[in-house]
Structures are given as structure tokens and as C-alpha cells.
């Protein structure tokens, strides 16, 4: 095929275009979709000196043409290597291999060729060897892509100019979620850092632990007698309680011996640095009205003989308080405790006894609200619990400590503002948008905002209680005066001395109120710690949302998400088995083992055993046999089987999630860099969430069409710029390609490949076995024939074999080999039959009619054999006969061989004709392919020019709309009639006014000349009339000038409208405009378009244009520009004389650059 300079230039443009490799728009004008790769075939015309010509003669060419890379041999690769090595250097470069792009008709895409080059040059040396080329062709990316294509796993073709609306919405969702998650990561990190700072500073659990540990050691370590958790602990009922309080309790809280003031002069101190605020309050909670036991009369009377069988438990309770102040002496305190014990202050009606004390440590700057609680259970057990809550005494003593609080609140407000920006558009979109908005991750965001606000609110209440309630109440208590009296007297006070400062009742009331406030603050602080506990998990979920932006960070949440279904079903089985074991342990060990005392404790005990914490000896003491049976079964079934199955499910899902993510995943810092570039690129765009909300609105969707184009997207969103529309279309195409290109081979695909490989291997083994059997039987038959010839007469055997039926039964080669007639026919039949899987591959070596090459004979050889002048060659058998042997053939054999020679000659001629016909068809197909490619290129150029013209038309329409805003078209329509009426009148009026003006002036002059003449009746008429007439003339002249200026402006507008309408008619002529033009509408009404071609700005030209016909622009014309239809009628668009005379349908002649390229000569006519 002849080389075309235009084709050569375009081929060079393809080779120099780096975008073809990156999957961008190819510079080739002849590209077309192929095999779902999303790129055009590299079908570039052959250049002079290129490898296109020699390649077609290689064996590897047909294999590459068919995509059968698995049949390529090393010899085929060496032939290709020699062709590509044009300079005969013995090596080729990567650029030499890329010359395959210019080979016409190659069924490989440019991406395939680039992938082949990359596989060959993995060491980046720039040089490619034969082994590297062979490995890349048979085992590289290209071969793997062909395998995926055969399995239906190849990438799909994407129409980059028209996309599905669902794909665009999916891209917007993914892009929005990814970008919002990525940009929320710094915000979440900042929020978490501030949360950790505030938690450490405000809760100050380190200080709380230090203070509570000192107080706990003091309370439990004071003795003997000890409180509990000691071998000498005595408190187990009410009498032992009073005994402990009269001894260790007093020595713990009240070191009030007079002789101790010298060694420890700090009244009210516990553990050296913890000051008692006010005193100690004893709070008793008891039943107000005891109820009778819910048993029979006999049982009740047997239990309680004094009160008639009361159980002393009921719903109504009441509290009573007693106070012990550290300012009193020891004698008074012991007396007070003794009186309480003797008066049965704690009796059978008492449920709880709470010893409440408020401690203040100035070194640690903290309060500790301590509650020593004695619970009198119905079982008779006295349960002792020590509860302490520590909170800061002055949180903002230094104002700088409030900076983290301000920053934390600022982050919360910013998060609230961001969420409201999304919530309000969703609310305007209706219920569907609200449902889409309140997804799981948005609920997490709102939980973080609300949770942070609630935490700050509770902290504010704690600060208010400490600073504005507790501290003023401490100031009101006269502890300083009482402490001063103690130190001044060198002895502790008695009730009378305290009464001199403050009454005991008032003192008790003030201390009770102080303890009530401290209890409220302690409860708020405890609730605050609970909220902080749950808020930490909310922040963890918020981190999971932020981690979704990066596949490397999202691996954990994707593992949990992917394994959720399997874990849920597994937990059903696990829970049933686990509950059965906990119930069995509760039944057997619940009576004696504390961990199995109830169902909930049994479940927790089983979980602790599962984690490795258990006490077998304690269980053995209850039941030795059941303890071992239960433990062995639990360890084997739950621990060894179920727990490991759970871990296997999670690990298997983790491996799958990591495999889906791929190996070459973007890092977080690279992703942040790309996000910053995207942020700069999308600056000024409509927010993506607003687009998503309007597109997802089911009631009033912004884009109701199922396919999205660049223009339809801009038409759906009027404020969207072209750059944003192109960005969305380009990114959506990349998103679709990324999804389709990620298709990889799974386990089922591997099984299919292995099964196909197994079938092919078994088929080849079967064919090989048949060939071996034929060869073996042939050798055995030849040997048997020789044995028969020895045993019998050789000539008799020869004459016998010549009597076989048919010319192919006894060929000379078979006779010479000693085969009998039947054996020769069998061998001939076997060798002429194509073996399975072998015959189709060797048809190129035989005749076109299917005769194998192994039985083809040369006509000259046959002729010589017939004449008795040379041997006859039998290629199938490989044996030869001499001339004397041929002479011994029976009569008639020469004629048969001559007929066979003629048949073979005819077949050879037919084969040559078939080859010539095939070559001609191939040339015609190449010409047809070239024409199709030229046509595709021409169409692409015309479409590009058309798109540019459409853009210009749209810009012109926008300018026209800007110009005609505020114009009253009714007045413009009436301008021609008014001008036609006024122009003649203006001439007459000017002439009449001139004559009358001369007359008036003459009269006025005459009146002035006749001085002293008496004309009293007309003395003032000339001056008044002249002024009035002059004013009217000026007014008329102003109106005329205004009308003329309007006419000139209308002419300019009509000129612009004419250009626009001319372009629209050209589009309509080419069949690319779906909207009927206004010109066609007017022609159907019988309105003929006429007008001069002169569009000058003179009054005469304006008059001519305004006198022409007018064309109305309906709503269809306005729909082309995307603007509402204009009310009223627009002026007519004039046409030139050539346009009017062209045709009645007002078609415009096609420019030369829009004419179709010539088709090649018809195949039949050319070959005829």
C-alpha cells in the first residue's frame, strides 16, 4: 500500500504523544475502541523503512494478529528480533520495539505495546535481548491481559463524552466522602489532641490516685482493730461496727489528744496533708415503716416474736444525720459514739450507714469527697465500700489554663458549621435528602459535636459549683476561729467553748449543706468521667471515618465491615455454646465460688477463664469431678475451636481486604499533596455536596436525563462553569476506568484456567499416543512384510500388491518397503487423516483444498518415474525406488501416475489463484480500513469544529440576551411604520414651518419697522407665536432623533441576530440540531425572508432594514441557550441574496472543509 505523507505525519504525532500511554486522549486521528481497553488500535499507515512490511511475512505476525501469544516459539521471536534490528547491531532498544505501533492491522493496542516494552526492559537498561522479548511475550502483562480478556475480566470501553448519571452520582459520592474524610483527619487529630490535654488537665486522675491512695491506706491501715481486708478485721455486725468506730475510727479522724498538739499541731489533718473540712457526718438510711414478712403466720411468729413477724424492709426510707467535729476533745467524741450505740441508733431498720467526709489537700489543689458506706444486707453480711471522688479546687487559678478549652470549643463550632452547611441543603431537598444525609458516618460526626458540647457543659457546672458554691460555704464555716482557740488553749474544745463561737445546731446545718454541695459536685464529676469514657469511643469511630480516605489506613474498618456478616452468624453459635457453659458453671459452682454466684457473674467468669484467668482449686473444692469435666470441655470447645475459628475468620477477611486494596497504594502524605492540588484546581467550583443533593433528589432532580454530557451538566446547573463540568466528566471517566481496570483473577478463574490446561494437556497426550501407535504399527508392518517376502516369492508378493483397489492403495514407496496391499491401504488411510489438534496447524503447508503436504508429489518426479528415467519420491514413506524397479510395474500404472501428475498440476494452479485472490481481498480490506480511519478522523475534526461553533453560538446568544434585556420589542416592531409615517410628514412639516416662520418673521420685522403705527390688537402675537412654535419644533426634532437612534441600535442587534441564526441554520442543515429554528417556523407560516445586505449605520440603511420582515423567536430558540424564552417578538434576521435564492428551505451551502472525503473505488468494480 502506498505511503501517504499525511498519514506519516499523523503516525509521528502518535509516537511523540506521551498521553497515549497514560490512557489520555490519543493524538491518532484513526483511533477506535478495541477489546474494552479504552484506547484506539494502533493502525497507523506504514512508513518507509518501517517494520510493517517484513512483519506480515513472519510466522509471529499471524500469532500476534490472532492474539495467540501462547503459541509463539523462540524461533519466532528470533525472526521478529532480526526484523526489528534494522542496523544489525545484535540488540534492539525500547524505541525499536515501540515501532510495532506503526504496524498496520495489528490487533494489539498502544497500551499493550507499551506494557510489552516495559516488561522487556525491567532493568531500565534500554536494551532488550531475545530472552527478555520471549519472556515478555509469553509470560508478561500482555499475555496476562489476554487471559483476562478470554475470561471476561478485561476493562470495559468508556464513552468519555456521554456518561451514565448513576456513574456520575457514584463518583460524586466517593469523591465527596474521600475528600471530607481526608480533610477531617487533621481536624480529628487536633480534636483528639485537645481532648487528651483537657482530660489530663481537668480530670487530673494522677492527682486523684495519689490522694485517694493515701486516704485509703489510712482508713484500712488504722488499727487494730482493722476495718476489713485484714486478718484482724472485726467488723461483721452492728456491735463490732460500734467497737471499731469507738477505737480505730476515732484515732483515724480525730488525733485530738492534748499531748499530741505538741508533736502534731494540725487539727483535723488525716494522712498529714489532707484537711477535714468542717467535720464528719454520719448518715443513716432506714426503713420508715417496716412491713410484715411475706410468709405464713407460723414462720413470721417464729422469726420475730416481738413485733409480730416484721422483716424490716420496705420501699419507704428516711435519713438521719449525726455530726462529729474535729475541734472537740476525745472524751466528748467517745461519749457521743457511746450514746449512739446505747440508743440503738443503728438497728434492724437500718439499711445503710454512710460516713461522709470532705478532705482538702492544698499541695495537690484538690478536694476529695469520701464516703465510707456500711451496707447491712438481708443475708446478714455487712458490706463495706469506700467511694472517693477527687476534683480540682480551683480549675482556672491561672487564666492560661483555659486556652485548650477555647480551642476545643472552637473546633466544635467549626465542625457544627460544616455539618450545618450540609444539613440545610439536605433539608431543602426533602425527606429523601435527609435520609441520605443521616448516614452512619454523619451520625458519628453529630455525636462527636453533641458529645463534646455536653462534656464542656458538665465541666462548666463542676467549675461553677467549686468556685461559686463550695468555696463561699467554706468561708462561712468558722473553722479558723475554732482552730485558733485550740492552738491558743493548747487543748481541744468542749461544747461550751464551741457555743461561744457558733451554735452547734447552726454548725451542723452549715456542715450538712457543705457536704450536700460537695456530693453534687462529686456526682457531676463522676458523670463527667463517664461521658469522657464514651466520648473516647466516639472519637475512635471518627478516626475510622477519617481513615477511609486512605486504603492503607482503612484496612481495619474494611476488615470489620467485610467480616461483619460472618462474625454475626458465628457469634450466634458462639453465644449459645458460651451460655451453656456459663449456666452449667453457675449451677455447679454458684453456691460456693464468688465468680459464679449469679448468671451475669458466671458469664463474666467464663470470659475471664477464656482469657486465661481461672482458679481450679477453688472449683475443685466444690466438686472435683465436675470441675475437671467442665474445664476440659470449655478449654477444648470454646478456647481451642471457637476462639480460633473467630480469629481465622478475621484473618482471612484481613488478607482479602489487603489483597483488594492492592500492593501499590497511595501513601497518606502523597494523598494530602494530591488533595491540595485538587483544592487549588477546584477553587471557585460549586460545592460537590450541593451537586450531589440536587442530583439525588427523586422528586425534582436537577438532571432528569439518564446520560450526562458536558452541555447537559452545565444546563442542569446554571452557575457551573465549563472548567468544573470538564473536571467532573474527566474525573468520572478516570473513576470508571479505575474500577474496571482493578478486575483481577480470583480462585474460580484459576480453577477454570487449570481445567482448560488439563484438557489441552490430555488432548495432546492422546494425540501423541495415537501418533506413536501409528509409527509403531508401521514399523511392525514393514518388518512383517520383509519376513513374508523372505518366506514367499518376492515377485508374487509384488504382483499381488499391485492388484489393490484404487491408485493410492499401492504406491511405489509402499511396494519398495515390502508392505502388503491391505497394510499399505491402512498406512495410507492413517497418514492421510489429520490428527486431532495437529491437522489445522499444518494446513499452511498443504494444498488449499485440504490435501496434506505429506502426500503431495512433484509432477516432474512422477513424470520421470513414468518414463523409467529416475526414482519416484514418496514423501510420506520416505523410501525411493530405482528406475529398474519402476520398469517392472504392470501395464496401466504409467497412465495412472500421469493422471495424478495432471491433477496435482491443476491443484497447484488453483492454489496459486487462491493465493492471488486472498492477497487482493486483503488489499481491498486494507483500503477499506484506511477509508474508515480517514472517515473517523474527518468526523472527529468536524465534530471538534462543530463544538467550537456551538460554543461561539452560545456565547453570542448570551451577549444578545444581555443586550436585549429591558428592550420593549413592541415599540421596536412599530418603529418601521412610525418612521414611514413620520419621514414624509417631517419634510412637509419642515417646509410648512419654514414658510410660516418666514411669514412671522416678516410680520414681526414689519411691525418693528413701522414705528409709531397703531396696531393694538396684534401687538403681542408675533413674539408669543414664534416662541411657542419654536418649542414644538424642538420637541418634534428630539422625538425624531430618539427614533433614529433606536433604529440604529436595532440594526446592530439585528446584525448580531443574523449571524447567530445563520450559524443555527448551518447546524440544522447538517442534522445536528435537535431544535427547530425560528426561520423554519416563520417559513411554515408563509413569511418570506427578505432584506438588503447593507447593514450600515446611516438613516437610509436603518430604514431599509427596519422595513424588512421580522422573525419571532419562540421558546425552542431560547432553549438552545439555556435561558428562559423572551416575551414578545424579535426583529427578523435578514438574509443575503445568495441565501434567499438557494432554496425554499433556507439551507446554507456546505463549506468545502465540511465535505465528506472521497470513498475508495468499489471492490467489485476495481477487481472486475
Kindly indicate the confidence band of residue 829, based on its pLDDT and cuts at 50, 70 and 90.
Answer: very low
Q: How far apart are CA 1143 and CA 1138, in angstroms?
A: 10
Q: How far apart are CA 776 and CA 773, in angstroms?
A: 5
Kindly indicate the confidence band of residue 116, based on its pLDDT and cuts at 50, 70 and 90.
Answer: confident
Q: Above 70 in pLDDT, residue 1080?
A: no
Q: Above 80 in pLDDT, residue 403?
A: yes
| Contact in structure between 366 and 208 (CB atoms under 8 Å) | yes
905-922 average pLDDT score = 84
Please tell me the least confidently modeled range out of 152-156, 164-168, 517-521, 1153-1157: 1153-1157
> Which are the contacts of 4, defined by CB distance < 8 A and separation ≥ 6?
45
3-state secondary structure of 262: coil
Kindly indicate the confidence band of residue 433, based on its pLDDT and cuts at 50, 70 and 90.
Answer: confident
Kindly indicate the confidence band of residue 512, based on its pLDDT and cuts at 50, 70 and 90.
Answer: very high
| Contact in structure between 308 and 342 (CB atoms under 8 Å) | no
| Contact in structure between 686 and 678 (CB atoms under 8 Å) | no
Residue 703 cell numbers, joined: 438532571
| Contact in structure between 1065 and 1079 (CB atoms under 8 Å) | yes
DSSP 8-state symbol, 683: T
Please tell me the least confidently modeled range out of 160-169, 900-909, 968-977, 1073-1082: 1073-1082
pLDDT in tens, 551-573: 888 888 889 888 999 999 999 99
% of the chain exceeding 90 in pLDDT: 26
What's the distance, Cα to Cα, between the start and end of the chain in Å? 20
DSSP notation for 415-457: HHHHHHHHHHHHHHT-HHHHHHHS-HHHHHHHHHHHHHHHHHH
Going by C-alpha positions, the residue among 670, 652, 668 that lies closest to residue 660 is: 652
Instruction: State residue 156's pLDDT score.
Output: 64
Instruction: State residue 1082's pLDDT score.
Output: 40
28-51 average pLDDT score = 35
CA–centroid distance for 444 within its chain? 19
Instruction: State residue 369's pLDDT score.
Output: 96
The three state secondary structure string of 685-723 is CCCHHHHHHHHHCCCCCCCCCCEECHHHHHHHCCCCCHH
- Long-range CB contacts (within 8 A, 24+) of 212-221: 212/368, 212/388, 212/390, 214/271, 214/273, 214/274, 215/270, 215/271, 215/274, 215/359, 215/368, 215/370, 215/388, 216/386, 216/388, 217/271, 218/252, 218/270, 218/271, 219/252, 219/372, 219/386, 220/386
Count of CB atoms situated within 10 Å of the CB of 520: 16
Count of CB atoms situated within 10 Å of the CB of 31: 23
| Contact in structure between 462 and 394 (CB atoms under 8 Å) | no
> Which are the contacts of 120, defined by CB distance < 8 A and separation ≥ 6?
94, 97, 128, 132, 133, 136, 140
The CA angle 814-815-817, to the nearest 5 degrees, is 65
Q: Is 90 left (phi over 0), alpha (psi -120 to 50) or beta?
A: left
766-788 average pLDDT score = 82
Residues in the chain: 1168
911-923 average pLDDT score = 84
Mean pLDDT of the chain: 74
574-598 average pLDDT score = 93
Q: How far apart are CA 810 and CA 827, in angstroms?
A: 10
Q: How far apart are CA 763 and CA 836, in angstroms?
A: 8
3-state secondary structure of 369: strand
Q: How far apart are CA 359 and CA 361, in angstroms?
A: 7
Going by C-alpha positions, the residue among 371, 345, 342 that lies closest to residue 284 is: 345
Q: How far lies 709's CA from each of 334, 747, 780, 937, in Å?
A: 94, 39, 76, 22
- CA contacts within 13 A on the Cβ side of 190: 16
Q: How far apart are CA 8 and CA 345, in angstroms?
A: 113
> Which are the contacts of 1033, defined by CB distance < 8 A and separation ≥ 6?
993
How many helices and strands in the chain, by DSSP H and E? 45, 13
Kindly indicate the confidence band of residue 3, based on its pLDDT and cuts at 50, 70 and 90.
Answer: very low
DSSP 8-state symbol, 399: G
Going by C-alpha positions, the residue among 187, 192, 174 that lies closest to residue 549 is: 174
- pTM passes above 0.75: no
> Which burial class, exposed, middle or buried, applies to 439 when counting CB atoms under 10 A from its CB (0-12, 13-18, 19+)?
exposed
Instruction: State residue 422's pLDDT score.
Output: 86
| Contact in structure between 142 and 112 (CB atoms under 8 Å) | yes
pLDDT in tens, 606-648: 999 998 888 888 899 999 999 999 999 999 999 999 999 999 9
**What is the Cα Rg of the chain in Å?**
54
277-286 average pLDDT score = 94
Kindly indicate the confidence band of residue 956, based on its pLDDT and cuts at 50, 70 and 90.
Answer: confident
Q: How far apart are CA 512 and CA 517, in angstroms?
A: 9
Instruction: State residue 742's pLDDT score.
Output: 53
Instruction: State residue 140's pLDDT score.
Output: 81
Q: How far lies 314's CA from each of 286, 302, 384, in Å?
A: 9, 20, 22
> Which burial class, exposed, middle or buried, applies to 120 when counting CB atoms under 10 A from its CB (0-12, 13-18, 19+)?
buried
Q: Are strands 317-324 and 280-287 parallel, antiparallel or unpaired?
A: antiparallel
Kindly indicate the confidence band of residue 993, based on its pLDDT and cuts at 50, 70 and 90.
Answer: low
409-433 average pLDDT score = 88
Residue appearing with cell numbers 475528600: 179
Kindly indicate the confidence band of residue 883, based on its pLDDT and cuts at 50, 70 and 90.
Answer: very low
Q: How far apart are CA 613 and CA 1148, in angstroms?
A: 94
Going by C-alpha positions, the residue among 1101, 1129, 1092, 988 that lies closest to residue 1044 is: 1101
Q: Reduced to 3 DSSP states, what percent helix, strand and coil does the chain have, rounded to the nearest 5?
A: 65, 5, 30
pLDDT in tens, 651-685: 999 888 887 776 667 788 888 888 888 888 888 89
pLDDT in tens, 187-203: 999 999 999 999 999 99
Q: Above 50 in pLDDT, residue 817?
A: no
Amino acid at each position: 500500500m502506498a505511503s501517504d505523507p499525511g498519514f506519516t505525519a499523523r503516525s509521528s504525532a502518535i509516537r511523540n504523544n506521551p498521553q497515549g500511554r497514560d490512557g489520555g486522549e490519543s493524538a491518532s486521528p484513526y483511533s477506535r475502541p478495541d477489546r474494552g481497553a479504552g484506547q484506539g488500535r494502533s493502525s497507523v499507515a506504514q512508513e518507509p523503512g518501517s517494520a510493517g512490511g517484513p512483519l506480515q511475512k513472519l510466522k509471529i505476525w499471524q500469532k500476534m494478529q490472532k492474539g495467540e501469544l501462547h503459541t509463539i516459539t523462540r524461533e519466532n521471536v528470533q525472526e521478529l528480533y532480526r526484523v526489528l534490528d534494522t542496523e544489525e547491531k545484535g540488540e534492539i532498544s525500547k524505541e525499536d520495539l515501540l515501532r510495532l505501533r506503526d504496524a498496520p492491522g495489528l490487533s494489539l493496542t498502544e497500551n499493550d505495546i507499551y506494557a510489552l516494552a516495559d516488561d522487556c526492559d525491567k532493568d531500565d537498561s534500554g536494551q532488550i535481548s531475545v530472552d527478555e522479548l520471549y519472556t515478555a511475550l509469553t509470560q508478561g502483562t500482555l499475555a496476562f491481559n489476554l487471559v483476562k480478556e478470554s475470561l471476561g475480566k478485561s476493562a470495559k470501553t468508556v464513552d468519555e463524552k456521554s456518561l451514565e448519571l448513576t456513574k456520575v452520582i457514584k463518583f460524586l459520592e466517593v469523591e465527596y466522602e474521600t475528600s471530607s474524610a481526608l480533610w477531617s483527619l487533621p481536624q480529628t487529630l487536633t480534636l483528639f489532641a485537645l481532648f487528651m490535654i483537657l482530660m489530663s488537665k481537668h480530670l487530673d486522675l494522677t492527682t486523684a490516685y495519689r490522694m485517694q491512695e493515701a486516704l485509703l491506706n489510712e482508713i484500712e491501715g488504722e488499727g487494730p482493730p482493722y476495718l476489713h481486708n485484714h486478718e484482724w478485721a472485726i467488723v461483721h455486725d452492728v456491735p463490732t461496727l460500734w467497737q471499731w468506730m469507738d477505737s480505730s475510727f476515732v484515732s483515724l479522724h480525730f488525733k485530738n489528744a492534748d499531748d499530741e498538739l505538741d508533736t502534731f499541731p494540725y487539727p483535723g489533718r488525716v494522712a498529714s496533708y489532707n484537711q477535714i473540712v468542717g467535720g464528719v457526718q454520719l448518715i443513716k438510711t432506714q426503713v420508715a415503716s417496716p412491713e410484715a414478712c411475706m410468709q405464713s403466720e407460723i414462720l413470721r411468729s417464729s422469726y420475730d416474736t416481738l413485733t409480730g413477724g416484721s422483716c424490716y424492709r420496705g420501699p419507704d426510707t428516711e435519713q438521719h444525720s449525726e455530726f462529729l467535729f474535729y475541734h472537740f476533745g476525745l472524751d466528748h467524741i467517745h461519749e457521743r459514739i457511746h450514746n449512739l450505740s446505747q440508743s440503738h441508733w443503728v438497728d434492724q431498720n437500718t439499711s445503710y450507714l454512710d460516713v461522709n467526709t470532705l478532705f482538702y489537700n492544698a499541695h495537690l489543689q484538690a478536694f476529695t469527697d469520701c464516703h465510707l458506706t456500711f451496707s447491712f444486707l438481708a443475708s446478714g453480711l455487712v458490706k463495706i465500700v469506700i467511694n472517693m471522688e477527687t476534683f480540682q479546687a480551683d480549675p482556672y487559678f491561672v487564666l492560661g489554663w483555659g486556652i485548650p478549652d477555647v480551642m476545643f470549643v472552637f473546633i466544635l463550632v467549626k465542625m457544627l458549621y460544616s455539618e450545618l452547611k450540609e444539613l440545610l441543603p439536605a433539608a431543602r431537598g426533602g425527606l429523601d435528602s435527609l435520609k441520605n444525609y443521616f448516614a452512619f458516618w454523619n451520625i458519628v460526626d453529630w455525636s462527636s459535636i453533641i458529645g463534646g458540647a455536653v462534656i464542656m457543659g458538665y465541666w462548666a457546672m463542676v467549675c461553677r459549683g467549686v468556685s461559686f458554691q463550695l468555696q463561699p460555704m467554706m468561708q462561712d464555716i468558722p473553722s479558723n476561729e475554732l482552730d485558733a482557740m485550740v492552738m491558743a488553749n493548747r487543748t481541744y474544745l468542749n461544747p461550751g467553748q464551741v457555743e461561744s463561737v457558733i451554735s452547734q445546731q447552726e454548725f451542723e446545718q452549715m456542715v450538712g449543706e457543705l457536704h450536700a454541695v460537695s456530693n453534687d459536685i462529686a456526682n457531676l464529676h463522676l458523670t463527667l468521667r463517664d461521658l469522657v469514657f464514651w466520648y473516647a469511643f466516639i472519637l475512635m469511630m471518627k478516626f475510622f471515618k477519617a481513615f477511609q480516605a486512605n486504603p492503607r489506613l482503612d484496612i481495619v474498618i474494611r476488615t470489620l465491615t467485610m467480616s461483619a456478616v460472618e462474625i454475626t452468624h458465628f457469634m450466634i453459635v458462639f453465644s449459645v455454646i458460651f451460655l451453656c457453659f456459663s449456666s452449667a458453671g453457675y449451677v455447679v459452682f454458684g453456691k460456693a465460688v464468688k465468680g459464679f454466684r449469679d448468671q451475669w457473674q458466671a458469664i463474666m467468669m467464663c470470659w475471664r477463664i477464656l482469657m486465661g484467668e481461672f482458679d481450679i482449686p477453688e472449683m475443685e473444692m466444690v466438686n472435683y469431678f465436675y470441675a475437671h469435666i467442665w474445664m476440659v470441655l470449655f478449654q477444648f470447645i470454646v478456647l481451642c475451636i471457637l476462639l480460633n475459628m473467630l480469629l481465622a475468620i478475621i484473618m482471612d477477611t484481613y488478607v482479602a481486604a489487603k489483597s483488594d486494596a492492592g500492593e501499590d497504594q497511595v501513601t497518606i502524605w502523597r494523598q494530602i499533596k494530591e488533595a491540595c492540588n485538587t483544592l487549588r484546581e477546584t477553587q471557585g467550583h460549586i460545592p460537590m455536596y450541593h451537586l450531589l443533593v440536587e442530583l439525588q433528589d427523586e422528586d425534582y432532580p436537577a438532571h432528569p436525563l439518564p446520560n450526562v454530557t458536558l452541555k447537559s451538566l452545565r444546563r442542569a446547573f446554571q452557575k457551573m462553569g465549563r472548567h468544573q463540568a470538564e473536571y467532573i466528566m474527566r474525573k468520572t471517566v478516570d473513576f470508571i476506568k479505575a474500577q474496571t481496570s482493578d478486575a483481577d483473577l480470583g480462585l474460580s478463574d484459576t480453577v477454570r484456567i487449570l481445567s482448560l490446561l488439563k484438557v489441552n494437556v490430555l488432548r495432546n497426550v492422546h494425540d501423541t499416543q495415537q501418533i506413536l501407535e501409528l509409527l509403531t504399527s508401521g514399523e511392525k508392518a514393514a518388518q512383517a512384510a520383509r519376513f513374508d517376502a523372505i518366506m514367499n516369492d518376492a515377485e508374487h508378493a509384488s504382483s499381488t500388491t499391485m492388484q489393490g483397489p484404487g491408485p493410492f492403495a499401492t504406491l511405489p514407496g509402499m511396494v519398495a518397503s515390502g508392505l502388503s496391499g491391505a497394510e499399505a491401504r491402512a498406512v495410507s488411510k492413517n497418514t492421510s487423516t489429520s490428527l486431532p489438534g495437529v491437522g489445522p496447524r499444518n494446513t499452511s503447508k498443504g494444498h488449499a483444498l485440504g490435501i496434506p503436504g505429506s502426500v503431495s508429489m512433484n509432477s516432474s518426479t512422477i513424470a520421470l518415474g513414468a518414463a523409467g528415467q529416475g526414482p519416484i519420491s514418496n514423501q510420506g514413506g520416505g523410501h525411493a525406488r530405482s528406475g529398474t524397479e519402476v520398469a517392472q510395474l504392470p501395464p496401466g500404472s504409467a497412465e495412472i501416475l500421469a493422471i495424478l501428475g495432471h491433477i496435482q498440476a491443476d491443484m497447484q494452479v488453483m492454489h496459486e489463484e487462491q493465493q492471488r485472490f486472498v492477497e487482493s481481498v486483503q488489499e481491498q480490506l486494507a483500503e477499506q480500513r484506511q477509508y474508515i480511519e480517514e472517515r473517523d478522523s474527518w468526523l472527529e475534526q468536524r465534530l471538534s469544529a462543530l463544538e467550537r461553533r456551538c460554543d461561539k453560538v452560545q456565547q453570542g446568544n448570551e451577549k444578545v440576551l444581555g443586550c436585549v434585556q429591558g428592550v420593549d420589542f413592541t415599540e421596536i416592531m412599530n418603529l418601521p411604520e412610525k418612521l414611514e409615517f413620520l419621514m414624509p410628514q417631517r419634510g412637509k412639516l419642515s417646509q410648512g414651518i419654514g414658510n410660516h416662520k418666514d411669514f412671522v418673521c416678516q410680520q414681526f420685522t414689519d411691525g418693528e419697522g413701522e414705528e409709531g403705527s397703531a396696531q393694538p390688537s396684534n401687538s403681542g402675537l408675533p413674539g408669543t407665536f414664534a416662541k411657542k412654535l419654536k418649542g414644538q419644533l424642538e420637541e418634534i426634532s428630539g422625538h425624531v432623533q430618539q427614533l433614529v437612534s433606536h433604529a440604529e441600535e436595532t440594526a446592530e442587534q439585528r446584525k448580531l441576530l443574523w449571524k447567530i441564526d445563520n450559524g443555527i441554520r448551518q447546524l440544522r442543515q447538517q442534522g445536528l440540531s435537535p431544535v427547530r429554528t425560528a426561520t423554519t417556523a416563520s417559513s411554515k407560516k408563509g413569511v418570506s425572508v427578505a432584506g438588503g445586505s447593507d447593514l450600515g449605520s446611516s438613516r437610509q440603511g436603518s430604514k431599509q432594514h427596519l422595513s424588512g420582515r421580522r422573525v419571532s423567536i419562540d421558546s425552542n430558540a431560547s432553549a438552545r441557550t439555556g435561558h428562559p424564552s423572551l416575551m414578545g417578538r424579535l426583529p427578523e434576521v435578514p438574509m443575503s441574496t445568495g441565501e434567499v435564492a438557494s432554496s425554499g428551505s433556507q439551507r446554507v451551502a456546505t463549506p468545502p472543509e465540511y465535505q465528506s472525503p472521497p470513498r475508495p473505488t468499489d471492490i467489485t468494480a476495481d477487481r472486475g
